[in-house]
Amino acid sequence: MASESTAKTDTSITEHLHELVLNSSDVEDFLNELAQVSARNLSEPGDEMLCAITLLRQRKAATVASSSPAAEAVARLEYEFNQTPSMEASTSQATISVPDVREDGQWPEYSASLLSQGIRSVLAVPFQLEGETKAALLLYSSRPNRFGSRVLEFAEDFVSQTSLALRLAVRFAHYSETAANLRATLESRTVIDMAVGIIMAQNRCSQQDAFEILKTASSTRNSKLHDVAASVVNSLGQGPARTHYDG
């Protein structure tokens, strides 16, 4: 039963998820692993649940992970509808239960799509994250009224236990993306500085004048400043400019 599985594996789940945070290549990879862990620990023998996780971050496209190909097929609906149980759970930070989608009147088109895939009940539980980042665990079942108070309690407890790992994964992803953006900015700046130096030497002008020449060329060609600078550097016949930063 889900209660026994959850009770026995609290510590091992936490340790496993922390290892996944460190070993996952990106946050989407971690989310897929978390969805699989969720399905294994919240399903019961002979009554497998389909699990998905939705993640909403500022200035990022929504991410939807799933526990299996079957769950992925159902989870695609999260991209097709603006209003869903997971969206409401994420924004309201409250658990949302749809006991029987056949009788649901709040999300009629979404529920009709679920029915077409054999889903009869849905549970959406929000993760406890930081700032504007929102996420929810979605559980789907082919049985109506599958998520009673006992299962709901186990699901909320499981999400509470795993929220820290997800917070860490999101934070690491943010730091990684920030570092990558900084590296790209530094490398772009280096190419521009190299091009300015070349223009100064060729035209015997000041650094400011050389930079203005580069900006004018960028505007005239309707190209990015970095691209024009790279073409100036490449024009020396020594191949593409190479920059390197240890991150």
Whether residues 171 and 198 fall in one domain: no
Whether residues 231 and 132 fall in one domain: no
CATH of the domain at 100: 3.30.450.40
215: left (phi over 0), alpha (psi -120 to 50) or beta: alpha
Residue 242 lies in a domain: no
pLDDT at 175: 54
Continuous H helices in the chain:
2-8, 10-23, 27-42, 69-75, 77-80, 85-92, 108-116, 149-203, 207-221, 225-234
pLDDT at 6: 41
Please name which of 111, 161, 163 lies closest in space to residue 134, comparing C-alpha atoms.
163
pTM score: 0.62
Structure tokens at 18: 């922390």
pLDDT at 187: 58
Residue 245 lies in a domain: no
Whether residues 207 and 154 fall in one domain: no
Please name which of 150, 146, 143, 138 lies closest in space to residue 107, comparing C-alpha atoms.
138
Q: Domain end: 158, 177, 196, which one? A: 177
Please name which of 230, 224, 238 lies closest in space to residue 191, comparing C-alpha atoms.
230
Whether residues 224 and 171 fall in one domain: no
- Residues 155 and 43: their CA atoms lie apart, in Å, by 10
CA distances from 9 to 52, 59, 63 (A): 20, 36, 27
What is the 8-class DSSP label of residue 130? S
Query: What backbone torsions phi and psi does residue 175 show, to the nearest 5 degrees?
Result: -65, -40
Residue 137 lies in a domain: yes
CA distances from 163 to 126, 128, 135 (A): 9, 6, 9
Whether residues 99 and 168 fall in one domain: yes
Q: Encode the chain (247 residues) as per-residue pLDDT tens digits.
A: 444 444 344 557 666 666 766 666 677 788 888 888 888 888 888 888 899 999 887 766 678 889 999 999 999 998 899 889 999 999 899 999 999 999 988 999 999 999 999 999 999 999 988 778 888 999 999 999 999 888 899 899 888 888 887 877 777 656 555 445 555 555 567 788 888 888 888 888 998 888 889 888 888 888 888 888 888 888 875 544 444 334 4
Residue 247 lies in a domain: no
Domain count, the chain: 2
Q: Map residue 161 onto helix, strand or coil.
A: helix
pLDDT at 176: 57
pLDDT at 238: 52
Whether residues 169 and 202 fall in one domain: no
Q: Dump pLDDT digits (tens) for 97-144.
A: 999 999 988 999 999 999 999 999 999 999 988 778 888 999 999 999
- Residues 43 and 51: their CA atoms lie apart, in Å, by 9
What single-letter amino acid sits at 160? S
Q: Which domain holds residue 213?
A: 184-235
Structure tokens at 100: 């029987």
Residue 108 lies in a domain: yes
pLDDT at 218: 87
pLDDT at 245: 37
Report CA torsion sign: 45, 47, 50, 53: negative
Query: Count of alpha carbons within 13 Å of 81, Cβ hemisphere only?
Result: 20
Residue 244 lies in a domain: no
Whether residues 140 and 197 fall in one domain: no
CATH of the domain at 228: 1.10.10.10
